[in-house]
């Protein structure tokens, strides 16, 4: 069995290839070819954390896998990431364990890649100003991924901690060939933004309709069991797209309060969800209808994304003879 550590996974995973690979994986999901059962989780209430299991089979990727992922929000601001994971890959023909790899890098990368795919499908072609809300791992990966699908020339970083926002802005400025600034507030970052990448653990919405410019595309990936990132008015007005209707409307640990709360309160119904990403990929549902339309992609993460990423990593590792082989018998 092939074993790959975090640094090896990071070196092997190509973001451009991942964005492209997610399109057929999401189509598999929407058209019923993929097998992705509901997420389950063991809760650690004293830490507000949980450990979730996410198995999946994706024909387009040729992968049968399962991810174990922990979410411990109190790790924010420490050297430890809030999300940590392991992925086990099995041979789809025989069920034989084939690989074990770090899933922390994959979780960050596939989430950002899916948001970038949503921007490719929904954001205006000329979208040039990106607002990044949050200062953690997902904020970093989203900034990098969004620049690959749209002509971003300015990035604005905002977070609860101005110091962390400034550090991230400096880091991105040194890495990316765009102007990067630390915005003093969420409203300041959002004012005039064409794309929003929201990756926070906010209890109260950090994306509010009054702060948004017409035509903006929002990718919201943040999670807080008791809170939400996007306000009712934005959800109600936006063209809403998701990875999976079933997943986003499921109870904890799979669903999204950003949609479940306004449904509960009668602001919208479940029918307000316009499309899954896979339906946009295949053309079964249309995307943006006007330059002024607000579009919202609400992500909860699904196993087909992990499967597509794991397939890329394992294939690259075998091609380059990277990783350790161990015997389980």
pLDDT digits (tens, 9 = 90+) for 251-281: 877 899 999 999 999 999 999 999 999 999 9
Same domain, 129 and 52: no
pLDDT bin (cut points 50, 70, 90) of residue 30 is very high
pLDDT of residue 328: 79
- pTM exceeding the 0.85 threshold for the entire prediction: yes
pLDDT of residue 254: 80
Mean pLDDT (whole number) for 307-328 = 95
The CA-atom distances, in angstroms, between 29 and each of 135, 144, 247, 281 are 31, 26, 11, 11
Which tens digit of pLDDT belongs to each residue from 174-226?
999 999 999 999 999 999 999 999 999 899 999 999 999 999 999 999 987 78
For the sheet containing 40-44, what is the strand order? 40-44, 49-58, 63-71, 83-90, 97-102, 2-4, 324-325
Mean pLDDT (whole number) for 47-70 = 94
pLDDT of residue 324: 93
Same domain, 169 and 209: yes
pLDDT of residue 78: 86
pLDDT of residue 96: 95
Please determine, for residue 83, whether its predicted confidence score (pLDDT) is greater than 90.
no
Same domain, 97 and 121: no
Same domain, 56 and 130: no
Please determine, for residue 329, whether its predicted confidence score (pLDDT) is greater than 90.
no
Same domain, 311 and 266: no
Same domain, 93 and 139: no
Same domain, 181 and 196: yes
pLDDT of residue 46: 95
Same domain, 151 and 280: yes
Which tens digit of pLDDT belongs to each residue from 119-158?
999 999 999 999 999 999 999 999 999 999 999 999 999 9
Query: H or E segment at 181?
Result: strand 179-182
> Average model confidence (pLDDT) for the chain?
95
CA distance 19 to 228: 26
- Looking at 20-108, which runs of residues are DSSP E strands? 40-44, 49-58, 63-71, 83-90, 97-102
pLDDT of residue 190: 98
Same domain, 122 and 260: yes
Supply the CATH number for residue 189's domain. Answer: 3.40.50.720
Same domain, 297 and 196: yes
pLDDT of residue 225: 77
Domain count, the chain: 2
Coil, strand or helix at 226: coil
Mean pLDDT (whole number) for 322-326 = 94
pLDDT of residue 226: 83
Supply the CATH number for residue 22's domain. Answer: 3.30.1780.10
Pairing type for strands 239-242 and 97-102 reads unpaired
Mean pLDDT (whole number) for 284-298 = 97
Same domain, 288 and 176: yes
% residues pLDDT > 70 (the chain) = 100
CA distance 182 to 98: 44
Please determine, for residue 250, whether its predicted confidence score (pLDDT) is greater than 80.
yes
Mean pLDDT (whole number) for 5-26 = 97
Same domain, 146 and 272: yes
Q: Which domain holds residue 95?
A: 2-107+304-325
């Amino acid at each position: 069995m092939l074993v790959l550590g975090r640094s090896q996974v990071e070196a092997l995973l190509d973001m451009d290839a991942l964005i492209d690979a997610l399109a057929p994986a999401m189509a598999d999901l929407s058209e019923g070819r993929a097998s992705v059962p509901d997420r389950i989780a063991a809760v650690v209430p004293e830490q507000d954390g949980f450990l979730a299991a996410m198995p999946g089979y994706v024909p387009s990727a040729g992968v049968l896998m399962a991810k174990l992922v922990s979410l411990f929000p109190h790790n924010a601001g420490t050297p430890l990431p809030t999300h940590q994971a392991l992925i086990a890959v099995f041979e789809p023909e025989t069920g034989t364990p084939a690989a074990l790899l770090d899933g922390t890098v994959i979780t960050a990368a596939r989430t950002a890649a899916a948001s970038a795919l949503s921007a490719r499908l929904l954001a205006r072609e000329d979208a040039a100003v990106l607002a990044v809300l949050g200062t953690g791992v997902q904020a970093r990966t989203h900034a990098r991924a969004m620049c690959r699908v749209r002509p971003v020339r300015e990035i604005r970083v905002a977070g609860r901690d101005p110091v962390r926002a400034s550090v991230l802005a400096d880091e991105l400025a040194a890495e990316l060939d765009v102007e990067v600034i630390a915005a003093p507030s969420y409203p300041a970052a959002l004012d005039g933004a064409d794309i929003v990448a929201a990756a926070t653990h906010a209890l109260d919405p950090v994306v509010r309709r009054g702060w948004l410019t017409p035509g903006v595309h929002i990718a919201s990936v943040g999670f807080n069991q008791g809170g939400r990132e996007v306000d009712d008015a934005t959800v109600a007005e936006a063209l809403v797209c998701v990875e999976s209707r079933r997943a986003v409307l499921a109870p904890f640990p799979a669903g999204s309060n950003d949609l479940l709360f306004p449904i509960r309160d009668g602001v919208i119904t479940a029918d307000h969800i316009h499309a899954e990403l896979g339906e946009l990929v295949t053309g079964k549902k249309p995307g943006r209808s006007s330059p002024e339309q607000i579009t919202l992609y609400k992500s909860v993460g699904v196993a087909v994304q992990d499967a597509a990423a794991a397939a890329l990593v394992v294939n690259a590792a075998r091609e380059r003879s990277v990783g350790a082989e161990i015997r389980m018998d």
